A and B are shown apart, each in its own frame.
Chain A
Amino acid sequence: MTLRPATAALILFFVAIVAFFCVTAPRFATASNAENLMSGFSFVAIIAMGEAFPIMVRGIDLSIGAIVGVVGMVVFDMAQILHVPGYVILPAALVVGTLAGALNGVLIVFLKLQPFIVTLATLAAFRGFTYAISGRQLVPGLTTTPITDPWIAGLETYFDLGGQLGLSKFVAMPWFPFSFLIMLALFAIFQMLALATRFGRDLYAVGGNKEAARLAGISTGGTIISAYAIAGFCAAVTALIMVARFTTSTEALGTGMELTAIAAAVIGGVSLAGGIGSMFGPALGAFLLGAVLLGLTLLGVPQFVQQIITGAILLAAVGYDRLLALRRQRRLNANLAEVS
């Protein structure tokens, strides 16, 4: 598998950042910090991978954070009010998220509206829906009662893989959160989907040149709807992980996550123009952001400076991507000159 220069740069940058913090920040190179990174940012990686799909078909999903909210509230209601067993809640949550995403896709394809606008509108509508179905005020004390269903709470388990594999005798190993393993599984599945299946080829085709894809007989509508449905699915997984972590859900769950997801995806090399990108970038981008934020926290850098630095990283990433594109263009022109 050939490495795109953007991906190689991303990996190098990640390594550089980790190295930097290992040296400068106390307690960065510890098992507990690695655990924090995984537990705090695995779901960010998942939602970034989900956001990558709409971006790859030359769209965008601004409502992905609101879908997290909807699914979170559905889980809350089903667990705390309807007392539905966990093994029903889990699939139900995934279905709700996927359907919400599919709704975005359907509106975009059938109403022929710009994705920015549609998902802007569903951002409001989904958030409103979250408020509408919120059962948090129904019973006094509900807001403070933790969700104890084993299927859900189980999502927040930690696995002592180091101990089990005998590695912790040699080096202090972090315990791996279940969410990290889920992220790895989803990464593997989606990466295969994107790179090795016909659906993946169709996805890149629709994103790269929608009209050519249509004329080649590809169902552009179906591909686009699927891309948004996948985003919704990832939002659902994210919601489950977050609800398990906080043992409850609020109406504001997921607010602002779309911006983080987009940032991680773009840092990971997914192009806003469509047709370019894979799962590796968004996932690594999310952990890169996570490493930076955790490292800065350990260095005692205040929250708001962290915000500034996050913004700067995003600018640098997109600036670098542009630089690569320019270089590609220059190489292309040189090639044309030779061939003529």
Chain B
Amino acid sequence: MAETPLIRGIGLTKAYGNLVALRDADLTVMRGEVRALIGSNGAGKSTLIKILTGAAAPTAGVVEIAGETAPLGDPKEMIRRGIACIYQHPNLTPAMSVLDNIFLGRQPTRRFGFVDRGRHRREALALVERHGIDIDVDATVGGLPTVKQKEVEILKALALDARVILMDEPTGWLAASEVVKLHATIRAMKARGVGIVYISHVLDEIFAVCDTVTIIRDGRVVAESAVADIDRLQVVHLMVGEKLARESAQAMHHKRNPRGSGEIRLSARNLTKHGVFKDVSFDLYAGEVFCITGLIGSKRTELVRTLFGSDHFDSGVLEVDGQPSTFANPSRAMARGIGFVPEDRRREGLMLDMTVNENLAMATLDRFQYGLLMSRSRMGQAGRRMISSLSIQPPDGARTVNLLSGGNQQKVLVGKWLNRAPRILILDEPTVGVDVGAKAEIYTILRRERDGGAAVLVVSSDLEEVMTVADRIGIMVSGRLVAIHDADAVHMNEVVREIGMGTG
């Protein structure tokens, strides 16, 4: 006789107008089961999660919890029935304390709704101790680093004493040691009978901690399997379909070009910003891709921002084309041929409500200007060229950028900078939230730029990406650049070791 699943989604469908995000999807989680949910971005994972947690109501389908049909689209009901979710982006109130956030909406009360402060604190401290998490419950959440905020999220979910915990890309911001801790916590919860849905695209983690896997592609569930019965290649094939999987594998075997043409485009000597990074020195050559990798918190983003003028270093010398330079703002850096694709494309890169053409032209507006006027038709022409060059889908320059998938949005962002034909192109985490297909296309674009003579600097935490695309690799640890290797002279394990060394 089959055991009743903790949670079961049957025939879940979600349509937003004409766009069908999820079609007839099924998902089951049993007691003590850790189920992986894999799919490219835009494949429908987030939609499925939103339905299961009540954050959104499906257009069709049913959700059963412990055998009983549950009301849909009501987060409070799902929480009451023991479904908790740790979302990708922190769902915390920055101005309130850790204590308040852990029990958000559920602080223990006495009569008349007065918060029972004593019990509140005792319960929170008990939680913190039980799970061995090191945190000050009175700290203001907004002042905590992202890693600690993630821990608050986990505490929040644990406080719910949930039967099923869904984790959406839980390790996105965690260091390797913290991932290990998280997996240990997951195994402990599993032993207590909690069901876990683990959404991730990091195959290593999935094969390390999950029991079963559900694969979603284009809004449909295309496969379900025990982790033991499937291998990585099969997973990737199922995720993206045959063609792209092959291209992605091929990408691993490209020729490396350390130090490119030998011409030094950018040179950093002892760059220091107090309390952020110290004595960073490296050379960037034309015709190479130099990847700086490291853990979150190693201050790579802070470093490259000072190269672009959106932030400033305190001491050291930066030379561009042999000339010492300090950039007071981005437009100065741009005048010297530097382009910068920022990490967060939605917050810092794109105008989401404007069209593809407008976004592509945003860094080159003067090219479409004569006197006081601006030529929209020339903007449209330039847009068409870039769209076709980067295979932006759909190939419609008048489409609002918000409607594009993550991968295509990233291509628009890159395209904006390519339009400037930069001599130095800096990209910060260029393929975060981008599906495997678009990733491969972006790598091809980077190689094209490199082969065209540009100096390309990529900041990336994705080791697979670094090993795929780098000609040389730099490793930053806690604000210091500790090593530089030629890509074909070093093994991934060595890189991993160096990244993990010298913490703090």
Contact = CB atoms under 8 A, between A and B. Distances in A.
B371 interface: no
Contacts of A340: 145, 297-299, 478-479, 504
B256 to A, nearest CB: 30
B322 interface: no
B16 interface: no
A149 B100 CA distance: 48
B370 interface: no
Contacts, number: 103
Contacts of A337: 275-276, 299, 479
Interface stretch (A31-39, A198-206, A253-261): A198-206
A214 B75 contact: yes
A201 B107 contact: yes
A218 B504 CA distance: 39
Given A201-B100, A216-B104, A338-B275, A208 B93 contact: yes
State the majority secondary structure of interface residues on B.
loop
B96 A205 contact: yes
Chain A: interface size category: 20 to 34
A213 B95 contact: no
Nearest to A199: B113
Contact of A275 (B91, B96, B115, B143): B96
A336 B104 contact: no
B98 to A, nearest CB: 13
A215 B53 contact: yes
B166 to A, nearest CB: 12
A211 B504 CA distance: 34
Contacts of B95: 204, 208, 275-276
Interface string B485-504: 00000000000000000001
Residue in A205, A213, A328, A340 with the greatest tally of chain B CB atoms within 10 Å: A340
Given A332-B142, A337-B275, A209 B113 contact: no
A198 B275 contact: no
Given A205-B96, A217-B79, A336 B105 contact: no
B105 A209 contact: no
Contact of B145 (A211, A216, A275, A336): A336
B87 interface: yes
A198 B94 CA distance: 18
A213 B105 contact: yes
A191 B85 CA distance: 33
A215 B297 contact: no
A227 to B, nearest CB: 15
A212 B299 CA distance: 28
A335 B478 contact: no
Contacts of A202: 105
A168 interface: no
B298 to A, nearest CB: 7
A209 B115 CA distance: 20
A312 interface: no
Nearest to B100: A201
Contacts of A199: 113
B298 A216 contact: no
Nearest to A211: B91
A204 B113 contact: no
Contacts of A213: 93, 104-105
A24 interface: no
Q: Which 5 A-B pairs have CB atoms at the shortest separation, nearest pair first?
A: A208-B93, A217-B76, A337-B275, A212-B91, A340-B297
23 contacts: A196-B114, A197-B109, A197-B114, A198-B109, A198-B113, A201-B105, A201-B107, A205-B96, A205-B104, A208-B93, A208-B95, A212-B104, A215-B53, A215-B55, A215-B75, A215-B91, A217-B75, A217-B106, A218-B76, A218-B105, A275-B96, A337-B299, A339-B145
